[in-house]
Amino acid sequence: MSRIDFNHLQAFVLVARERSFTRAAARLGVTQSALSHTIRGLETRLGVRLLARTTRGVSPTEAGERLYASLEPHYEGIDSALALLDDMRDKPAGTIRITAHDHAASTVLWPKLSGVLAAWPDVKVEIDIDYGMIDIVAERFDAGVRLGDQVAKDMVALRIAPDMRMAVVGSPGYLAGRPAPLTPQDLTAHRCVNLRLPTHGGLYAWEFERGGRALQVQVEGQAIFNTTPQILQAALDGHGLAYVPDDLVDGHVAAGRLQRVLEDWCPIFPGYHLYYPSRRQASPAFALVLEALRVHS
């Protein structure tokens, strides 16, 4: 037997449940004659009569009763599933996946999204730490976080943090007895803690700028990491100079655990932006995330 159209089975279930072609047709949004034609076609394909038509209405035959009893629970489940989707359409729920640097995740995303999770128990947030410039569509992320100048032009970008200044720091123990670097070129005489970039597999070149002059310096050192907290810890432990976001070192500098160098060369980058595909239709859960992360002037 060839496959039966599920729409025809649904039409039969409705007629059997309502005991009326008129009421079933109204629920399906079709004419009564079109519905009768559908049922006759289904009976012809099955080779058995399913409904008995009388002047008082319609009722299932014995074969119809058996078919209805088998199909009804499944259609009830489908109706329940669709009703659940209707609820989700209006009520924030589901998982929002975001890829971001560890610094953005710890200083921007989590502080702002923690409250969202507390207020909306059906919303889940997954934050994936990654320095690579990944394709968020191909990797099935809802959004990504990068500095403003790194966001692709075909994405919607939402600023979620102010501009960010970088800092070069070292421990007093490391800098003792060594001349502090006065220019970025002086870093070649220092041990530095490197950042490995996964996208290209290379080491990040430290970026500097002063008076409109931009420089990139490839530094050397014994320690290499792919996350910021370990780079900062290596500097605290005296293994060399580190290039990290300035907000991470304020407390350590104030406490005397670290010293800033090359302050007049350290650049300011465009702040973190949340980016997502322009064609993305915001779900209630995603809309909550956007509003929580938005920088309000």
Q: What percent of the chain has pLDDT over 70?
A: 90
Q: Which element (helix H / strand E) includes 81? A: helix 62-90
Q: How confident is the model at residue 197 (pLDDT cuts 50, 70, 90)?
A: confident
Domain ranges within the chain, ordered by starting residue: 6-90, 94-160+271-293, 164-269
Please name the fold of domain 6-90: Arc Repressor Mutant, subunit A (1.10.10)
164-269 has the same fold as 94-160+271-293: yes
pLDDT digits (tens, 9 = 90+) for 11-52: 888 888 888 888 888 877 888 888 888 888 888 888 899 888
pTM over 0.75: no
Of 140, 136, 135, 144, which Cα lies nearest the Cα of 98? 144
CATH placement of domain 164-269? 3.40.190.290
- For the beta carbon of residue 46, count every other beta carbon within 10 angstroms: 15
- For the beta carbon of residue 108, count every other beta carbon within 10 angstroms: 20
Structure confidence at residue 81 (pLDDT): 63
Q: Is the dihedral of CA 106, 107, 110, 115 positive or negative?
A: positive
- Residue 179, Cβ density class (10 Å: 0-12 exposed, 13-18 middle, ≥19 buried): exposed
Class of domain 94-160+271-293 as given by CATH: alpha beta
Structure confidence at residue 268 (pLDDT): 94
Of 273, 251, 269, which Cα lies nearest the Cα of 260? 251
* Beta-carbon contacts of residue 202 (< 8 Å; ≥ 6 apart): 196
On average, the pLDDT of the chain sits at 88
